[in-house]
Chains A and B, each alone.
Chain A
Amino acid sequence: DVKVTQSSRYLVKRTGEKVFLECVQDMDHENMFWYRQDPGLGLRLIYFSYDVKMKEKGDIPEGYSVSREKKERFSLILESASTNQTSMYLCASSLRTGSRTQYFGPGTRLTVL
């Protein structure tokens, strides 16, 4: 079974803090993704990566950056957290060939005060 884990289930941070969200997958997937989910807006793609050290902007990259130094790990960084970044953050991974099904982690509920 594919396993995608995220470093925290719940996180509370202050405005202006630097925030790191970590994601690890154990199925040797090439692709990794970061989404945020907000009520009425569905899942919106922030960044994705299809290889180590590669990254591509998604639909809403502003205010975020990412890092992929190892194949199994994909980090999302909020350089200076703001209240409008309060959200559920979801990490996913998929193979580059064959089934492109994305498998999701449990999510991190981030609250920025």
Chain B
Amino acid sequence: DQQVKQNSPSLSVQEGRISILNCDYTNSMFDYFLWYKKYPAEGPTFLISISSIKDKNEDGRFTVFLNKSAKHLSLHIVPSQPGDSAVYFCAAGRFLNFGNEKLTFGTGTRLTIIP
């Protein structure tokens, strides 16, 4: 049962334009959501997160939007740069007792920025 889904395996965007990566989830109990970026042969690096009580969080060129009623979140990158070419994973988590928590990851979207 895939609780976190990224339905687009790949996305190509012109340099300077906006990149929009989407993620859907099925479990309404998730408390927070994160986006990670991963280059080949490297570990994922944390990009941005959002609490379930918010609908938007912004950090420089990166903005995450959360629509709880639709169980949907998106990552906007503007303007897109060649260095943004990577695989992006969304992840969701819950606050549990004793910090006994785990993240549920989507399958990833490969973003390619075209110069």
Which residues of A are in contact with B by a Cβ distance under 8 Å?
A: 4, 9, 30-31, 33, 35, 40-45, 48, 50, 56, 58, 90-92, 94-97, 99-107, 109
Q: Which A residues touch B100, using CB under 8 A?
A: 50, 56
Q: In the assembled complex, how far is the CB of residue A43 from the closest CB belonging to chain B, in whole angstroms?
A: 4
User: Does the CB pair A42–B107 fall under 8 Å?
Assistant: yes
Q: Which B residues touch A91, using CB under 8 A?
A: 43
User: Does the CB pair B101–A42 fall under 8 Å?
Assistant: no
Q: Which A residues touch B45, using CB under 8 A?
A: 104
Within 8 A of A (CB), among B63-115: 89, 91, 93, 95, 98-103, 105-108
User: Does the CB pair B98–A50 fall under 8 Å?
Assistant: yes
User: Which A-B residue pairs are the 9 nearest by beta carbons?
Assistant: A96-B99, A104-B43, A42-B107, A43-B105, A42-B105, A104-B44, A106-B43, A107-B43, A50-B100
Interface range on chain B (Cβ under 8 Å from partner): 20 to 34
Q: Which B residues touch A30, using CB under 8 A?
A: 99
* Given A42-B108, A43-B44: A102 in contact with B103 (beta carbons within 8 A): yes
Q: In the assembled complex, how far is the CB of residue B51 from the closest CB belonging to chain A, in whole angstroms?
A: 11
Q: Please, could you name 24 A-B residue pairs with CB atoms under 8 Å apart, sorted by A?
A: A31-B99, A40-B9, A40-B107, A42-B89, A42-B108, A43-B91, A43-B105, A44-B105, A45-B102, A45-B103, A48-B102, A56-B100, A56-B102, A58-B102, A92-B43, A95-B99, A97-B99, A100-B99, A100-B101, A101-B49, A102-B103, A103-B46, A104-B44, A106-B43
